[in-house]
Chain A
Amino acid sequence: MSKELADGVGVARAGHFETVAQQRAAATLGIWAWLITELLLFSALFLVALIVRIQHPEATVAAAKHLKFWIGATNTVVLICSSLTMSMAIEFSRIGWQRAMVRAMLATAALGGLFLVLKGYEYYADWDEHMMPFLGSRPFALAETPPARLFVNLYYVATILHAVHLFTGIALLLGMTWMAAKAGFLSRHQNWIEVYGLYWHFIDLVWILAFPILYVVNR
């Protein structure tokens, strides 16, 4: 990936920075620092899920059997592809191909949306199979194995938290795409695409952690 920016592509310096290089460095370090905090947030949650697995292996396996492995696997591929389109958007931003960049960003948002649609369908299937223990109205399918209920609830907490991040990410992406389509954007705010791209990759990474921890190792 080229690190050099094409002519006409760059960053407009904000008043409190001395140089553009300083501003870029600050933005990059800032997003990495934010992502570390997000990683810790999810890691703590995954750690709790792993502890439940270690303490209650049979109940966890029983619960995981009801998870929709193939929807999860498809969603993993969908997000990896969306990271690919996001990387393309970053590269296009560096070489100044604004229209291609906008299309890549829209493709990324679309793939993210596809993930949410598939996830929604998956939740519907869970509801249908009585796998929503927090709903008093629908008796839980594995009620005779109480730790299974805990594992399933943790699955919801983790995937809902991820979905909230993904939804926020798509909303930010669409807003940024709208701004990025305007003339002169790439000469003033090219690094926004790079900074945002790191966030998108992170959302993908969280899912790449969640999928094995929740779906795969417990089968």
Chain B
Amino acid sequence: MSASGSVGGTARREPHAPEATLGRKADYLHADSTLRSWFLTTDHKRIAILYLASITGFFVIGAVAAGVVRLALIVPNGAIMTNDTYNKAFTIHGVVMVWFFLIPSIPATFGNFLIPLMIGAKDLAFPKLNLTSWYVFMAGAFFTLVSLVLGGVDTGWTFYAPLSTAFSNTWVLPALIGVTIVGFSSILTGLNFVVTIHTMRAPGMTWFKLPIFVWAHYATSLIFLLATPVITTALILLIMERGFHIGVFDPAYGGDPVLFQHLFWFYSHPAVYIMVLPGMGVISEIVPAFAQKKLFGYRFVAYASIGLASVTFFVWGHHMFVNGQSDLASLVFSALSFAVAVPSAVKVYNWTATIHKGSLRLDTPMLYAMGYIGLFVLGGLTGLYLATLAINQHIHATYFVVAHFHYIMVGGTVLAFLGGLHFWWPKFTGRMYSEPWGRVSAMLIFIGFNVTFFPQFILGYLGMPRRYATYPVEFQLLNVLSSAGATILAAGYIFPMLYLVYSLWFGRKAPANPWNAKGLEWETGSPPPKHNFLSPPAVPRIPYDYPIQAQEAQDQHG
């Protein structure tokens, strides 16, 4: 390896693979258009598209459920629908959004498509297992939707016992079975990613040349593997309790309902990092590309991803500060929750430093990335409020929590998803989307999001509890404001669905690298050929070897 670092100016670049000189029919998207070739594909790129289509459908279902919730809350007295209908609406919103949209969104779509490209491989390690994971995902969705069609489930996405096991009269079992099944889809995807990243990197592609997107997905996959089995056990026990009353969560038989909470949150807290880490990976690709500048603090950002995936396993009890657990446990979980904020802060500061002295273009992906940074910071810091024990006693289970996690999940993950979708759209489809519509939608979503969720912070500290179908009349103004924001947000979501689909037929044909971005995925055609690269790709000397380099410690890259 060359020992001299690069000092400003243009990095010496290897000659890259020639532009795809294939005819249109030979890229992965257009070669072979039979149903069989799609539904029995083992090509990671096609599987990514299968996931993209299905998660979009589930997003719509979850969003409609959210619409029902916000509609109900326009009036304080529950006049629009029964309490039971409301409870089913927020439950299905949570279940569908968490397990059938947020968790798979970036990993199963962008991760599947891009990881082999980014590391210079022809596919993932286990292509057939990859297809299996999609079918398992759809099987889980089937059972969950059965529950919805039969009449819904009203336990909340958290399924706390004994409400879910002994008191709810709704279709809990199909929902539990669906969620148990979909967990296996996560495990298979995570397994595939871990093995691929370890064993299939192109010659010369060392760990510290990998894009942060890959690091983020590696860290996410560790969580997939280590956390998901525990929720599987928790759900099996819940199913046994509801079906056979085995007694594990029933005090009358020596069981303990709080034990379920421990098992549930041991998975579900790391799960929220499954929902967050991939988005951070996306932002780490977009920001350098639109600043045309190397990512600042690459090693710190890489280590921060692993740090997040580790510490996240030790903070689950911060969901349980007020449920009667011991003071010592609460102290430990609170302290560790403060610690887990540090790696996230590291990333935010590094993205900001990357923009410093860059050469910025504010195209749609960058607008989403900048929106992400702002909203994620707000969401993350409000998490620290919740981690503070005395404050938690006031705002636990209020709208403050609802606002906090929507700032991260929507202001964070959904924005990262949309930013990534626009960034890599040319690569996936070979078409450019309409940039003006992209910018308008991004701004509409940003505005709609804040109008929807910022008032909820206020509602929370004013004392409005969550999962309330009716509420005191003095909260109506803020609720109406929030619901109004939700309509703006909904409009914002619809526009991309329209102009992106439009571009599939009428968009300008995309070049291999429309953004002048770095990364091996840009060294092949748009869309890529079936086996990713026509000739083995040239691994860069350093990652993010953009024209503008920061003066950093010489030993950053070996």
B103 within 8 A of A: no
Alpha-carbon separation in the docked complex, A25 to B201 (Å): 13
Q: Chain A contacts of B236 at CB under 8 A?
A: 45, 157, 161
User: Which residues in window 476-507 of B have CB below 8 A to A?
Assistant: none
**B228: nearest residue on chain A (CB-CB)?**
A37
Is A25's CB under 8 angstroms from B253's CB? no
Is B195's CB under 8 angstroms from A33's CB? yes
Partner of A33 from the list B225, B228, B247 (CB cut-off 8 Å) is: B225
Q: Chain A contacts of B190 at CB under 8 A?
A: 33
Is B229's CB under 8 angstroms from A38's CB? yes
Is A44's CB under 8 angstroms from B248's CB? no
User: Which residues in window 124-181 of A have CB below 8 A to B?
Assistant: 134, 146-147, 149-150, 153-154, 157, 161
Q: Chain A contacts of B247 at CB under 8 A?
A: 146-147, 149-150, 153
Q: Chain B contacts of A134 at CB under 8 A?
A: 244-246
Is A16's CB under 8 angstroms from B123's CB? yes
Name the residue among A17, A37, A134, A149 with the largest chain B CB count within 10 angstroms. A37
Q: Chain A contacts of B253 at CB under 8 A?
A: 146-147, 149-150
User: Which residues in window 16-60 of A have CB below 8 A to B?
Assistant: 16-18, 22, 25-26, 29-30, 33-34, 36-38, 40-41, 44-45, 48, 51-52, 55-56, 59
Question: Which interface class (under 10, 10 to 19, 20 to 34, 35 or more) fits A?
Answer: 20 to 34
Is B240's CB under 8 angstroms from A157's CB? yes
Alpha-carbon separation in the docked complex, A154 to B240 (Å): 10
Q: Chain A contacts of B122 at CB under 8 A?
A: 15-16
Is B246's CB under 8 angstroms from A29's CB? no
B131 within 8 A of A: no
Is A44's CB under 8 angstroms from B191's CB? no
**B267: nearest residue on chain A (CB-CB)?**
A44
Q: Chain A contacts of B233 at CB under 8 A?
A: 41, 44-45, 48
Alpha-carbon separation in the docked complex, A147 to B255 (Å): 7
Q: Chain A contacts of B196 at CB under 8 A?
A: 26
User: Which residues in window 396-445 of B have CB below 8 A to A?
Assistant: none
Q: Chain B contacts of A147 at CB under 8 A?
A: 247, 253-254
Alpha-carbon separation in the docked complex, A10 to B110 (Å): 35
Q: Chain B contacts of A56 at CB under 8 A?
A: 254
Alpha-carbon separation in the docked complex, A62 to B513 (Å): 71
User: Which residues in window 244-263 of B have CB below 8 A to A?
Assistant: 244-248, 252-256, 259, 263
Alpha-carbon separation in the docked complex, A18 to B252 (Å): 60
Alpha-carbon separation in the docked complex, A36 to B252 (Å): 34
B126 within 8 A of A: yes
Q: Chain A contacts of B226 at CB under 8 A?
A: 36-37, 40
Is A150's CB under 8 angstroms from B199's CB? no
Name the residue among A29, A40, A51 with the largest chain B CB count within 10 angstroms. A40
Alpha-carbon separation in the docked complex, A15 to B531 (Å): 10
Interface string of B207-238 (1 = CB under 8 A from A): 00000000000000000011011101110110
Q: Chain B contacts of A30 at CB under 8 A?
A: 125-126, 191-192, 195
B317 → A minimal CB distance (Å): 16
Is B198's CB under 8 angstroms from A29's CB? yes
Alpha-carbon separation in the docked complex, A197 to B385 (Å): 50
B187 within 8 A of A: yes
A198 → B minimal CB distance (Å): 14
Is B199's CB under 8 angstroms from A154's CB? no
User: Which residues in window 91-149 of B have CB below 8 A to A?
Assistant: 121-127
Alpha-carbon separation in the docked complex, A134 to B35 (Å): 47
Q: Chain B contacts of A55 at CB under 8 A?
A: 254, 256
**A153: nearest residue on chain B (CB-CB)?**
B246
Q: Chain B contacts of A153 at CB under 8 A?
A: 240, 244, 246-248
Alpha-carbon separation in the docked complex, A25 to B125 (Å): 10
Alpha-carbon separation in the docked complex, A77 to B234 (Å): 31
Is A51's CB under 8 angstroms from B259's CB? yes
Is A41's CB under 8 angstroms from B229's CB? yes
A37 → B minimal CB distance (Å): 5
Q: Chain B contacts of A38 at CB under 8 A?
A: 229
Alpha-carbon separation in the docked complex, A202 to B252 (Å): 36
B200 within 8 A of A: yes
Q: Chain A contacts of B237 at CB under 8 A?
A: 45, 48, 157
Partner of A157 from the list B191, B234, B246 (CB cut-off 8 Å) is: B246
**B124: nearest residue on chain A (CB-CB)?**
A16
Alpha-carbon separation in the docked complex, A161 to B208 (Å): 41
Q: Chain A contacts of B255 at CB under 8 A?
A: 52, 150
Is B200's CB under 8 angstroms from A17's CB? yes
Q: Chain A contacts of B198 at CB under 8 A?
A: 25-26, 29
A145 → B minimal CB distance (Å): 9
Q: Chain A contacts of B377 at CB under 8 A?
A: none
Alpha-carbon separation in the docked complex, A16 to B246 (Å): 47
B52 within 8 A of A: no
Q: Can you name 11 A-B pairs with beta carbons within 8 Å?
A: A17-B200, A29-B194, A30-B126, A37-B226, A45-B236, A48-B263, A51-B259, A56-B254, A149-B247, A150-B253, A150-B255
Besides A44-B233, A48-B263, 4 more A-B contacts (Cβ < 8 Å) are A26-B125, A33-B195, A52-B248, A134-B246
Question: Could you tell me which B residues sit within 8 Å of A by CB distance?
Answer: 121-127, 187, 190-192, 194-196, 198-200, 225-226, 228-230, 232-234, 236-237, 240, 244-248, 252-256, 259, 263, 531
